[in-house]
């Protein structure tokens, strides 16, 4: 049985395939399967979901060619890869590749209530009151952000919205209000004390790196770290900082797919060619460096890579860390798709009555939760813990928080808006408020466990 599917998007890379021509590219020996492939659920004009890709993968001979446009090249270099058992060909991107399914999402928001999904784990805050801090709403907060582009030198240009002329600042004057309790403000001293002598590694896509840079800025109100990256690697996509006074290490490992990826062009990275993704082989570049970290935060734009990533952590002999899965944050392209002039010009949050996850993004979210739960069950066999850092409900309501066209100099010839990443400062700082509370709860669990052992 053999089925071959080609999916290409956008004139941006010189391809202008309509749905009829896309369907004509399917060659399938199984008539029933071909009928399923041609159904509307598989051939949405905007995307083919990764869940459907899983079904396709089970019937393919070798690979799916897929193209997405490149916006910005990665800073690192490719590493050698072996021949995979399953290969997906994708063209590489920086801003959009890291969240491929999100970049190919809805052209405009869907005005219905956001679903409330209980995912367990975080059920209480420091106020000792049961509360799901991930479910709530955005409320006005006139005091503004924790930092600015003038007080934090770690903001990269792509998220430095105020520096590059964003005219409104109202997007900085909102706070997340959980239903039934208050989310404490970020306390950098408390955070640094909690991680004293420990290490945190952010692994995955550039939105995860976005969160790490937010954390650097939040902690900069107390102290700046020393960049020690050179001691470990020359790859600029892998960075480490050391907070001397707290003996705390913060690191980021940029691996947008978490699995091995290799440019199809043997000469290296070009902006519109194909990438080989080895879905059954984790990217050893990050896996080899993460074993001794106390906390690992996984950020993945492709749910297909999660099982192997979790399995890799579970199989690391010396890994005893706590793993967080940061759920995805939706893109907010309106007035067109990302490659058709789409943008994100809103200046205030949605309410729950105005926005929900569409079917595809809800499926993606639920799959992430399912994979995390499966990892929890397996992890217990080795005494490993997994937690859900659930930012999805909060961020689906923040169409105003993206750089749009303010992630670069206005003189640069950049036509594609960034409605995937987040301005810093901005709503992404809330993710680290969540993280702080989760670390506090881990400390409480550890303390309670110690008391129980002594009582026993």
Distance of CA 259 to the CA centre of its chain: 14
Q: How confident is the model over 194-216, as a mean pLDDT?
A: 96
Task: Please report the sign of the dihedral spanned by the C-alpha atoms of residue 410, residue 239, residue 365, residue 53.
Answer: positive
CA 92 – CA 433 distance, rounded (Å): 32
C-beta atoms surrounding 271 within 10 Å: 14
Residue given tokens 């869940």 in the structure block = 51
Residue 38 tokens read as 């041609």
Q: How confident is the model over 8-34, as a mean pLDDT?
A: 32
Question: What's the pTM?
Answer: 0.73
Distance of CA 189 to the CA centre of its chain: 26
- Cβ-contact 205, 309 below 8 angstroms: no
Residue 137's pLDDT is what?
A: 97
Residue 314 tokens read as 């579970």
Burial of 207 (0-12, 13-18, 19+ CB in 10 A): buried
CA 109 – CA 331 distance, rounded (Å): 10
What single string gives the DSSP state of each residue in 338-368? TTTT-B----SPPPTTT----HHHHHHHHHH
Annotation marks residue 255 as catalytic = no
Q: Where are the domains of the chain?
A: 140-252+284-455
CA 4 – CA 132 distance, rounded (Å): 45
Residues 6+ apart with CB under 8 A from 140: 173, 174, 175
Residues linked to residue 395 through DSSP beta bridges, in sequence order: none
Calculate Rg over the CA atoms of the chain. 22
Residue 341 tokens read as 């002039």
Annotation marks residue 132 as catalytic = no
Annotation marks residue 206 as catalytic = yes
CA 452 – CA 454 distance, rounded (Å): 5
Who has greater pLDDT, 445 or 97?
A: 445
Q: What is the pLDDT of residues 38-67, one digit of tens each?
A: 332 333 332 333 333 333 333 332 233 333
The Cα-based distances of 365 to 116, 372, 385, 434 in angstroms read 12, 11, 20, 18
Res 150 pLDDT > 70: yes
Q: What is the pLDDT of residues 359-395, one digit of tens each?
A: 889 999 999 999 999 999 999 999 999 999 999 999 9
Strand boundaries in 31-127, DSSP class E: 63-67, 87-90
Residue 30's pLDDT is what?
A: 37
Q: What is the pLDDT of residues 75-90, one digit of tens each?
A: 433 333 333 334 444 4
Q: Which of 332, 402, 405, 421 is catalytic?
A: 421
Q: Which of 263, 283, 418, 429 is catalytic?
A: 418
CA 293 – CA 129 distance, rounded (Å): 31
DSSP assignment, residue 212? H
Residue 131's pLDDT is what?
A: 87
Res 447 pLDDT > 70: no
SS3 sequence of 138-164:
EEECCCCCCCCCCCCCCCCHHHCCCCC
Q: What is the pLDDT of residues 92-109, one digit of tens each?
A: 333 333 333 343 343 334
Q: How confident is the model over 413-422, as a mean pLDDT?
A: 93
C-beta atoms surrounding 454 within 10 Å: 7
Residue 264's pLDDT is what?
A: 67
Which helix (DSSP H) or strand (DSSP E) does residue 188 occupy?
Answer: helix 188-194
| Strand, helix or coil for residue 261 | strand
Residue 73's pLDDT is what?
A: 34
Q: Which of 114, 135, 199, 206 is catalytic?
A: 206
Which of the four pLDDT bands, split at 50, 70 and 90, describes residue 151? very high
Residue 286's pLDDT is what?
A: 81
Task: Return mean pLDDT, the chain.
Answer: 74
Residue given tokens 């049961």 in the structure block = 130
- Cβ-contact 114, 355 below 8 angstroms: yes
Who has greater pLDDT, 24 or 220?
A: 220
């Amino acid at each position: 049985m053999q089925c071959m599917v080609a999916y290409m998007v956008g004139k941006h890379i010189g391809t202008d395939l309509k749905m009829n021509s896309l369907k004509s590219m399917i060659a399938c020996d199984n008539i029933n399967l071909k009928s399923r492939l041609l159904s509307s659920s598989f051939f949405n004009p905007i995307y083919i979901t990764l869940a459907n890709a899983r079904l396709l993968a089970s019937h393919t001979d070798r690979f799916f060619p897929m193209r997405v446009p490149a916006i910005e090249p990665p800073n690192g270099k490719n590493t050698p890869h072996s021949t995979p058992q399953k290969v997906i060909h994708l063209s590489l991107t920086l801003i959009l590749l890291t969240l491929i399914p999100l970049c190919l999402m809805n052209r405009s928001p869907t005005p219905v209530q956001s679903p409330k999904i209980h995912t367990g784990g975080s059920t209480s805050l420091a106020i000792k009151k049961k509360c799901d801090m991930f479910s709530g709403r955005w409320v006005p907060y006139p005091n503004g952000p924790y930092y600015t582009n003038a007080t934090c030198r770690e903001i990269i240009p792509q998220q430095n919205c105020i520096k590059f002329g964003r005219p409104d600042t109202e997007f900085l004057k909102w706070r997340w209000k959980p239903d039934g309790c208050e989310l404490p403000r970020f306390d950098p001293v408390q955070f640094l004390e909690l991680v004293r002598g420990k290490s945190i590694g952010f692994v995955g896509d550039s939105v995860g790196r976005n969160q790490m840079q937010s954390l650097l800025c939040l902690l900069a109100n107390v102290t700046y770290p020393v960049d020690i990256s050179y001691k470990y690697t020359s790859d600029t996509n892998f960075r480490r900082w050391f907070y001397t006074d707290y003996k705390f290490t913060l690191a980021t490992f940029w691996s947008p797919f978490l699995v091995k990826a290799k440019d199809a062009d043997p000469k290296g990275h070009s902006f519109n060619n194909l990438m080989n993704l080895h879905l059954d082989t984790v990217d050893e570049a990050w896996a080899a460096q993460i074993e001794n970290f106390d906390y690992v935060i996984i950020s993945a734009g492709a749910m297909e890579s999660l099982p192997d990533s979790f399995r890799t952590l579970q199989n690391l002999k010396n890994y005893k860390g706590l793993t967080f899965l940061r759920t995805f944050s939706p893109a907010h392209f309106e007035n067109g798709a990302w490659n058709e002039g789409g943008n994100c010009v809103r200046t205030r949050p949605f309410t729950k009555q105005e926005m929900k996850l569409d079917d595809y993004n809800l499926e993606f979210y639920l799959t992430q939760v399912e994979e995390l739960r499966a990892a929890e069950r397996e992890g217990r066999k080795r005494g490993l813990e997994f937690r859900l850092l659930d930012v999805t409900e909060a961020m689906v309501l923040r169409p105003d928080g993206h750089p749009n066209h303010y992630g670069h100099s206005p003189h640069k010839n950049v036509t594609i808006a960034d409605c995937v990443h987040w301005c810093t400062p901005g709503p992404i700082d809330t993710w680290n408020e969540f993280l702080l509370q989760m670390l506090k709860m881990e400390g409480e669990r550890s303390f309670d466990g110690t008391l129980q052992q002594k009582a026993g």
